[in-house]
């Protein structure tokens, strides 16, 4: 999006798009992800602690796959907030660097920023943390394909 500030109507539209995105992806609901905030090319999502998502029962730490899904969802939500018009997206590449394990019994917050949108690809950075963003448990860099759509196998066949 451009650097110009959004009016209240545009911000409400962005929030609604973010909420629809969260409802539309079944594993977002299964994980209990909570969309906390959205803005111009930005999103924040919270993953509540849940015993079903623990990777090692001896430590009680959330599984890395749940944190990966959180980061992917947050990065995707940030991409939606950066688009001029709604369109389908797909994760092309998502690199996640795990810096330390999450703490037992504590939910994880992710924040993402879509900093560049081209005709076909959006670029995003994200971070997952417990209490403070400057003490991350994971960081990420990703690319998302824009304008994807599902086609049937016979479509376009001659």
Per-residue tens of pLDDT for the chain, all 158 residues: 333 455 677 667 666 766 776 677 888 888 999 999 888 999 999 999 999 999 999 999 999 999 999 999 999 999 999 998 888 999 999 999 999 999 999 999 999 999 999 999 999 999 999 999 999 999 999 999 998 665 444 444 43
Taking each continuous run of H as one helix and of E as one strand, the counts in the chain are 3, 8
| Cβ atoms within 10 Å of 140's Cβ, excluding its own | 23
**How far does Cα 55 stand from its chain's mean position?**
21
For residue 64, count CB atoms less than 10 angstroms from its CB and return exposed for 0-12, middle for 13-18, buried for 19 or more: middle
Rounded distance between C-alpha atoms, residue 1 and residue 77, angstroms: 14
Q: Token pair for residue 139? A: 């960081």
CATH placement of domain 8-146: 3.10.129.10
- Domain boundaries of the chain, sorted by first residue: 8-146
């Amino acid at each position: 999006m451009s650097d110009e500030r959004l009016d209240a109507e545009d911000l409400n539209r962005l929030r609604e798009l973010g909420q629809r995105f969260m409802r539309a992806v079944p594993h977002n609901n299964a994980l209990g992800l909570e969309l906390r905030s959205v803005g111009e090319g930005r999103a924040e999502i919270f993953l509540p602690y849940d015993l079903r998502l623990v990777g090692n029962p001896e430590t009680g730490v959330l599984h890395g796959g749940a944190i990966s899904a959180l980061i992917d969802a947050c990065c995707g939500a940030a991409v939606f907030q950066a688009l001029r018009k709604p369109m389908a997206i797909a994760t092309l590449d998502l690199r996640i660097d795990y810096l330390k394990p999450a703490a037992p019994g504590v939910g994880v917050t992710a924040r993402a920023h879509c900093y560049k949108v081209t005709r076909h690809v959006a670029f995003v950075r994200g971070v997952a943390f417990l209490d403070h963003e400057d003490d991350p448990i994971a960081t990420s860099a990703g690319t998302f394909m824009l304008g994807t759509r599902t086609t049937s196998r016979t479509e376009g066949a001659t």
